[in-house]
Amino acid sequence: MNAAPASNPLADLIAEKGVLLADGATGTNLFAAGLEAGEAPELWNESNPDKIRALHQGFIDAGADIILTNSFGGTRHRLKLHHAQDRVFELNRKAAELAREVADKAGRKVIVAGSVGPTGELLVPLGALTYEDAVAAFTEQLEGLKAGGIDVAWIETMSAPDEIRAAAQAATGLGLPYVYTGSFDTAGKTMMGLHPRDIHNVVDGLGQKPVAVGANCGVGAADILSSLLDMTNADPNATVVVKGNCGIPEFRGSEIHYSGTPDLMANYAHLAANAGAKIIGGCCGTSFAHLAAMRQALDNHVQGPRPTIETIVETIGPMRNKTAGDGSDAPRRERRGRRG
């Protein structure tokens, strides 16, 4: 496979700073700002742009080096659930423009990453979506994000290797550098059976390597650190992303709350850096305050020994899943449909 482009804004900033801080939750923070359950966050790019700007500004003020656009569900397959499948280009372009506007006023380099989530469809032979149609859907979304000024395509919360590959092919076809992350939420693997150690090989032969690969979302901070160890063991030289949930999701009545405190997320950031992650962020439940604690942790970080599972559990708390390497079949966890 050919190498990733020698120079792109994300790779350049990693080379300059060593470890980057990515942003936190989109959904959690937009719900706090008034988004209703079942409402498409992407529609807020046009109806509530000030709230999207405030989301990005909050993460930049907390110290984020990377902000993700409000476009996770921006394919026509997701938007059709809200009768907006004919607005893919404009909604994604607006998502990128809003993030770009805020990032460009930061007074320092902030990477704008175009968030691309799963289509929600199963690919052939398990479902009706062909690989070619998936590439076309991701291309349509990324055309809008590119027009709005993203620095990198950020393919996230993926389960199926073929869907990762389709999104990566779409990015490559548009000349965009790209990152991809899986959600290892099912017995330590993705719902479609991808093991963390195999994340590096998903796009072999495409012609352009990713800038980074890794994990996001999942079930909790301890579990995603276990996945990180698997990924960095498999390829110690890879640029690896870890963007974990803020502790563990807990239902309180009909509401989901996350158990992570700012101190816990600071410890998670230290452990992630010691385990070899080059991009560290938060996913569901991660607020501006959590991210600020992670920023302080990384700014004060002194590289320590590579953590063990025992160290992770002692520091962060128990794992919720069986690990991917123990051959067990843990019950499948219901996947949340939206990042953050």
Binding site annotation covers 246?
no
Return the bridge partners of 113, or none: 68, 152
* Residue 95 CA to its chain's centroid (Å): 16
Q: Are 208 and 190 in contact (CB under 8 A)?
A: no
Q: Are 68 and 116 in contact (CB under 8 A)?
A: no
Among the residues of the chain, which ranges form H helices?
A: 9-17, 27-32, 44-47, 49-62, 76-79, 88-103, 131-148, 161-173, 221-234, 262-274, 288-299, 309-316
Token digits of residue 132 = 């070619």
Binding site annotation covers 283?
yes
Q: Measured between alpha carbons, how far is 245 from 169 in angstroms, rounded to an integer?
A: 28
Binding site annotation covers 284?
yes
Quote the crossing angle between the two packed helices 221-234 and 309-316, to the nearest 10°. Answer: 160
**Pairing of the two strands 255-258 and 249-252:** antiparallel
Pick the closest to residue 213 from 225, 226, 190, 196 (CA basis): 196
Q: Are 282 and 26 in contact (CB under 8 A)?
A: no
Question: In a 10 Å sphere around its CB, with 0-12 CB exposed, 13-18 middle and 19+ buried, how is residue 327 labelled?
Answer: exposed
Token digits of residue 106 = 């930061």
Q: Are 141 and 152 in contact (CB under 8 A)?
A: no
> What is the CB neighbour count within 10 angstroms for residue 197?
17
- Annotated binding residues, written as ranges, equal 217, 283-284
- Annotated binding residues for Zn(2+), written as ranges, equal 217, 283-284
